[in-house]
A and B are shown apart, each in its own frame.
Chain A
């Protein structure tokens, strides 16, 4: 895993839950939450829990106004590019509007070799439900962030209705995207409750929905179970 992982994608693709899981499971020490799109379900909403687990959360929120949705960006967001001791994951807001925030760090990004820019995809989101739409989204996000997307994360799921075939449907589409763009599928996310024993492309990332659970308890799971 590279020292810095930047997560981008459409809103609702699962970036924040993945950022939290990566930070916890890969022993990262910094999570940079640059989401200026969503007012709720942001990784900063569990920053106390993350801090207890040795993860410093750099939040783009004005102090004492955690509920604000002002497009405020913490200047600390550039730290991981400068301080080599930081192992970080960036959680960007959805769409090109979230991705374009990366542009301001241009001057600090000296070594692209230590950075992975991963696009999170769930093919059950309307905006990324086909190869053509995903390719168009990649172009859009790259143009906005001025960063090359170096890999894909298959986060195809229907929450509690997910089974192996759901994940496989995403994999089949992403395989084609991967071939066309010549970028690998880096991770496949499988939520803890999903019974899927097969091998998936890339590393398997066992996922727990910390942000949804924080607010809703098991009531956050709604459906089959």
Chain B
């Protein structure tokens, strides 16, 4: 299969099938509805499982059950729906169950709106569930990158025995773009799921239980430290980012997802006016790509974080920067997408202020 033209949500759904997804459990919400719509037809055609649950809470607990039985499981939702799933996500992380979650972000808080947003950065990277846990979180910018990451995520989830979340703003879910679905992606060497409660205890001679309850404090702490070792491995191995035009740059934009695409337009426009601007584009948002910030040349004096929120990733930018460079922020919220000119103006304001 060569390139085809797909809508983001459809492409993510097909990528999940190609990534070996055995079962989907979800509940409808705009702007991600084409994911369950597509899977409702194609999963059944492939002889796999599709369930439209009675709620998001039910869906995430079905994910827990199926993942516990050793299946490759997907759920998808949008902001308030992901909020409802937080308890289940914490349980999945606690019980070390692999699963893939797609979050197509819209404006909030509360019911908010249905236009695109990046206002769930904190929800995704800090988690709304309880306890010391992290999700491996990716935030791609194009449909090809999204498809590749969705496919890999099933492997990564199994490898780390941890939920993986792919966070895109609504625009990526809704936009059309050519994609090559069968493009090769890196694979992990995986162990058999000998921990799964898969109904084969007789053959195994031992009963597997899936649980996140540890009543003894020392026992729970040992479990916490075991989880931490996995998170440390992720921080070591899974930081993903792209550096764009950073040589000679005086200002470096930090932006992900759709914002990175608009920033590309701004960088091209500023170049024509003789202003050198680069970009750090985080592809993983947890772990946050701190490594990228160490690679900036001395020409850079300012980092400009641009988000479709009022400054959530900006906190991570401050931490990664650790006081070295000046940090500025530009963002719009509620479903408003900053246009190219707004970013151009924000950069010019920085450059002008510096030259005065």
The answer to whether B114 and A68 touch across the interface, beta carbons within 8 angstroms, is yes
**Least CB distance, B40 to chain A, in whole angstroms:** 14
Q: Is B3 part of the binding interface, using a Cβ–Cβ cutoff of 8 Å?
A: yes
Q: Beta-carbon contacts of A184-225 to B below 8 Å, as 1s and 0s?
A: 000000000000000000000000000010011111101100
Known pairs A12-B6, A161-B3; A215 contacts B176 (CB<8 A): no
11 contacts between A and B (CB under 8 A): A12-B7, A40-B115, A40-B171, A67-B335, A159-B5, A159-B178, A216-B258, A216-B265, A217-B262, A219-B340, A222-B142
Known pairs A40-B31, A67-B113, A124-B3; A223 contacts B178 (CB<8 A): yes
In chain B between 2 and 50, which residues have their CB closer than 8 angstroms to a CB of chain A? Answer: 3-7, 10, 30-31
Q: How far is the CA of A161 from the CA of B171 in the complex (A)?
A: 21
Q: A12-B5, A67-B115, A69-B30 are in contact. List 9 more A-B contacts (CB 8 A).
A: A67-B335, A125-B5, A126-B6, A159-B178, A161-B178, A218-B265, A218-B268, A222-B261, A223-B178
**Least CB distance, A186 to chain B, in whole angstroms:** 21
Q: How far is the CA of A157 from the CA of B177 in the complex (A)?
A: 10
Q: Beta-carbon contacts of B264-287 to A below 8 Å, as 1s and 0s?
A: 111010000000000000000000
The answer to whether A124 and B4 touch across the interface, beta carbons within 8 angstroms, is yes
Q: Is A183 part of the binding interface, using a Cβ–Cβ cutoff of 8 Å?
A: no
Question: How many chain-B residues does the 8 Å CB contact rule pick out?
Answer: 33
The answer to whether A12 and B170 touch across the interface, beta carbons within 8 angstroms, is no
Q: Is A41 part of the binding interface, using a Cβ–Cβ cutoff of 8 Å?
A: yes
Inter-chain residue pair count (beta carbon < 8 A):
85
The answer to whether B174 and A41 touch across the interface, beta carbons within 8 angstroms, is yes
Contact of A212 among B10, B175, B339 (CB under 8 A): B175
Q: Is A39 part of the binding interface, using a Cβ–Cβ cutoff of 8 Å?
A: yes
Q: How far is the CA of A216 from the CA of B268 in the complex (A)?
A: 13
Give the interface SS of chain A, mostly helix, strand, loop or mixed: loop
Q: Is B263 part of the binding interface, using a Cβ–Cβ cutoff of 8 Å?
A: yes
**B262, closest chain A residue (CB):** A219
Q: Beta-carbon contacts of A56-86 to B below 8 Å, as 1s and 0s?
A: 0000000000011100000000000000000
6 closest residue pairs by CB, A with B: A217-B265, A219-B261, A217-B340, A40-B174, A158-B178, A219-B265
Known pairs A124-B5, A157-B5; A40 contacts B262 (CB<8 A): no
**B260, closest chain A residue (CB):** A219
